[in-house]
Amino acid sequence: MTEAPQLGQLEKHLRSRRDNGRKLLIPYVTGGYPVEDWPRLVEGCAEAGADAIEIGIPFSDPVMDGTTIQESSSLALAAGADPLDILGQVSKIDVDVPLIAMTYYNICYHMGHRRFASQLSNAGISAAILPDLPLEEAGHWTKAADAEAVETILLAAPTAPDERLVRIVERSRGFVYGVGLVGITGERSELATSALEMARRLKAITDKPVVIGVGVSNPQQAAEVSEVADGVVVGSAVIRRVLDSGNIDDAVEFVAQLRAGLDAG
Amino acid sequence: MTSTVSATNFMDDPDDNGRFGKFGGRYVPETLVPACAELEVGFREAWADQAFREEFEQLLQTYAGRPSGLTECANLSEELGFRILIKREDLNHTGSHKINNVLGQTLLAKRMGKSRIVAETGAGQHGVASATAAAYFGMDCVVYMGEVDMERQKLNVFRMELLGAEVRPAMSGSRTLKDAVNEAMRNWVATVESTHYCLGSVMGPHPYPWMVRQFHSVIGDEASKQCDELIGGAPDYVVACVGGGSNAIGIFSGFANSDAQLIGVEPEGGAAVGSAVPGVVHGSESYLMQDEHGQVLEAHSVSAGLDYPGVGPEHAHLADIGRARYESVNDREVLEAFELMSRSEGIIPALEPAHGLAWMVKAKEELAGKTVLLNLSGRGDKDVAQVQAIKAGDPAALSTMRP
Ligand SMILES: Cc1ncc(COP(=O)(O)O)c(C=O)c1O
């Protein structure tokens, strides 16, 4: 018999906020972009009302990402961003919400599963998202992550049949990341109908927090999908504001608007 | 000459998790997992279905022009001091081995109800083959090609367009094959319900490395029979260039259980097996050129078709168990071999298989008195303009070369 896993720090935190009637907001920040200021952007997101923050560790070949996050990643890499350096800076960030690492599997594989897990843990990171590591391949990583109490958030996509969703939800820790559309990250003018459908399918089978990401682009869309889901991840729409302006102020202001949109429901 | 008996099967099918030994697997975004699973089932059923196999063979014969010949290179043999045979994949329709895989995959895609294919291409040979098959089967076709490669292989871009395909530039990273694969995968993530991803080598997530091998196994099957007839058994060496590794896997599959030595030749600037560092990119665990942090390195090769930092997982496995050996050559050696074959045999090879010959020239002493089979994976028409520019000293044509 395997015992039900203890709730991790992130999941406890998100559950309690959700159970108090709050919709969850998880912005994404590319580690290393903008070069000097990205830790300030993380702090700004927390102050603007984020419930947790995803920090991307840039990878050379981000196949799940559209042009915005590709661009911020390559700018970070060109400026010399490296995973250990980013994690070192994360450990100095002072915020009162959980942090989540998002990167591609080769970064973890290359560092070694146990070392990567302990590096995340040492940096004060609660959870990890590895978008090219599906359930069937995740065993080595989840073993190492569980040992360090790093929660592994799995993605659930609209293309998954029902029986697969059940297995994903079962193994996901922290929350379940519902992919809002059939496609890669990037802003969209309309909320995909698949986003609501994804949220409904997941809510029907789990009590874990269900958060929808990919394609959620503005406060209206965030509020709309959160009528069914427990909250949203917003990445490209945040990062694009940094790319456009060259500083973090617009992005922080945008996160505050997302917060207001979600609170107004 | 050596016998062809062996107790072990060195090129078994992958296990249930799509692994050749330690390598392979299915590392894709969740969105694509069901499509890969479906493709695996679809391929298993088709490959076991006599009617599918017959239709495939028929196409290979009447459309691609198989079987391809085996040519004895008397002049080169005399010059180098060992017996050289070449498998003439250059004589296939569209000019390379790539058509075998593409006909198999489009036939399968049609059977699975897909109306559109997306492909990546390096040299343009896989893109041309994909555009060709799409035209033949009446399917829509989008080909991603690195911007640098579109410049190096202009003629192939025009060919694809003539065939009715849309060629889209991959503008990120090194703007070569690796980035074209990224773009093709991103497009597939967004279009997976209607689209088949026609991957061009023995790489990617399960079932691709296995499926693409099976579609190319015709190269090895024919060559082993042809060798039996010509020299009464397997040659001492079987040599092939390795980018992702499809032409090499195809010919190796006919000799894996013989005593022939199998040699894969990588470009020095794209030697994934040579790097001996395992990694995960584009769907499988294999050897991968990467920096100390796990960022994938950009490959550099005069040959657009081999300008790739990864390699198919079965090659990693064959290297691991010692069944195949991987060597590398530099661009200058390749250009010399390109001219050598042209002048001595009247056959202009593609720059990719010229890597195989370049190694043979370097390994002259080891090979003395032996019989060597080289897979001539494609013809050099596509490379003539580039080589002309290099010879004229055009810095742009040289820019991605390694000395
Ligand atoms: C003639 C030829 N040979 C070889 C290759 C490399 O592919 P692979 O290593 O899969 O055989 C290419 C790729 O474009 C090619 O055009």
- pLDDT band, residue A1 (cuts 50/70/90): very low
In order of A67, A112, B59, B88, the CA distances from B67 in angstroms are 44, 47, 11, 9
Write the single-letter amino acid at B90.
Answer: D
pLDDT of residue B394: 81
* CA angle (A87, A93, A99) in 5-degree steps: 70
pLDDT at B396 over 90: no
pLDDT at B142 over 90: yes
Contact flag A63-B189 (C-beta cutoff 8 Å): yes
Selecting from 2.60.40.1190, 3.30.1740.10, 3.65.10.10, 3.40.50.1100, what CATH number does the domain B19-61+98-197 have? 3.40.50.1100
In chain B, the N- to C-terminal Cα span, in Å, equals 37
| Helix (H/G/I), strand (E/B), else coil: B197 | strand
| Helix (H/G/I), strand (E/B), else coil: B328 | strand
Asked if the structure places residue A2 within a domain, the reply is: no
pLDDT of residue B400: 54
Which chain A residue shows the shortest CA-CA distance from B290? A110
pLDDT at B395 over 80: no
Please write the tens of the pLDDT for every residue from B215-246: 999 999 999 999 999 999 999 999 999 999 99
B118, B119, B124, B125 alpha-carbon torsion, rounded to 10°: -110
Q: Which of A74, A105, A111 sits opposite B27 (nearest CB)?
A: A105
- pLDDT: which is higher, B402 or A176: A176
Query: What mean pLDDT is predicted for residues B347-357?
Result: 98
Query: What mean pLDDT is predicted for residues B381-402?
Result: 80
| C-alpha B29 – ligand 1 centre gap (Å) | 26
Q: Is B192 on the interface with A (CB under 8 A)?
A: yes
pLDDT at B398 over 80: no
pLDDT of residue B110: 97
In 3D space, the residue among A26, A16, A20, A31 whose CA is nearest the CA of residue A49 turns out to be: A26
Question: In angstroms, what separates the C-alpha of A17 from chain B's closest C-alpha?
Answer: 28
Q: Catalytic amino acids of A?
A: 54, 65
Nearest CA to ligand 1 atom 16: B125
Asked if the structure places residue A104 within a domain, the reply is: yes
**H or E segment at B53?**
helix B50-62
Share of chain A above pLDDT 90, in %: 97
Contact flag A132-B186 (C-beta cutoff 8 Å): no
pLDDT at A79 over 90: yes
Q: Which of A65, A74, A134 sits opposite B28 (nearest CB)?
A: A134
Work out how many domains chain A is built from and give that number: 1
Backbone phi, then psi, for B160, in 5-degree steps?
Answer: -60, -40
Chain A: residues touching B (Cβ < 8 Å): 59-66, 70, 74, 77, 82-84, 105-111, 131-137, 154-161, 164, 168, 179, 182-184
Question: In angstroms, what separates the C-alpha of B209 from chain A's closest C-alpha?
Answer: 17
**DSSP string for B100-130:** HHHHHHHHHHHHTT--EEEEEESSSHHHHHH
Query: What mean pLDDT is predicted for residues A21-38?
Result: 97
**CATH code of the domain covering residue A118:** 3.20.20.70
In CATH terms, is domain B66-96+217-398 a member of 3.40.50.300? no
Asked if the structure places residue A264 within a domain, the reply is: no
Ligand 1 atom, smallest distance to B95 CA: 1
pLDDT of residue B1: 46
Contact flag A159-B34 (C-beta cutoff 8 Å): yes
Q: ipTM surpassing 0.90, yes or no?
A: yes
Please write the tens of the pLDDT for every residue from B65-96: 999 999 999 999 999 999 999 999 999 999 99
Residue A178 belongs to domain spanning:
9-259
Q: Where along chain B do its domains lie?
A: 19-61+98-197, 66-96+217-398
pLDDT of residue B403: 38
Tokens of B352: 């990719």
* CA angle (B24, B28, B327) in 5-degree steps: 35
Q: Which of B31, B280, B288 sits opposite A179 (nearest CB)?
A: B31
Nearest CA to ligand 1 atom 10: B246
* Alpha carbons A62 and A71: distance in angstroms, whole number: 10
Choose the weakest-confidence range: B38-47, B113-122, B136-145, B148-157: B148-157
Query: What mean pLDDT is predicted for residues B321-338?
Result: 98
| C-alpha B247 – ligand 1 centre gap (Å) | 6
* Alpha carbons B145 and B161: distance in angstroms, whole number: 13
Q: Is B392 on the interface with A (CB under 8 A)?
A: no
Query: What mean pLDDT is predicted for residues B387-395?
Result: 90
In chain A, the N- to C-terminal Cα span, in Å, equals 42
Q: Is B32 on the interface with A (CB under 8 A)?
A: yes
Q: Which residue has the tokens 């000293």?
A: B393
pLDDT of residue A4: 61
Query: What mean pLDDT is predicted for residues A75-94?
Result: 97
pLDDT of residue A3: 54
Tokens of B52: 């599918």
Asked if the structure places residue A232 within a domain, the reply is: yes
B300 lines ligand 1 (CB under 6 A): no
Asked if the structure places residue A155 within a domain, the reply is: yes
Taking each helix axis from N to C end, the angle separating B98-111 and B33-48, rounded to the nearest 10 degrees, works out to: 100
Query: What mean pLDDT is predicted for residues B144-164?
Result: 94
Contact (Cβ atoms closer than 8 angstroms) between residue A245 and residue A39: no
What's chain A's average pLDDT?
Answer: 97
pLDDT of residue A5: 67
Please write the tens of the pLDDT for every residue from A128-165: 999 999 999 999 999 999 999 999 999 999 999 999 99
Asked if the structure places residue A3 within a domain, the reply is: no
Nearest CA to ligand 1 atom 4: B352
Whole-prediction pTM: 0.96
Ligand 1 atom, smallest distance to B245 CA: 9
Query: What mean pLDDT is predicted for residues B284-300?
Result: 97
Tokens of A189: 């003018």
User: Which member of B36, B97, B126, B315 is catalytic?
Assistant: B97
Please write the tens of the pLDDT for every residue from B183-215: 999 999 999 999 999 999 999 999 999 999 999
Using a 10 angstrom Cβ sphere, with 0-12 exposed, 13-18 middle and 19 or more buried, the burial of residue B69 is middle
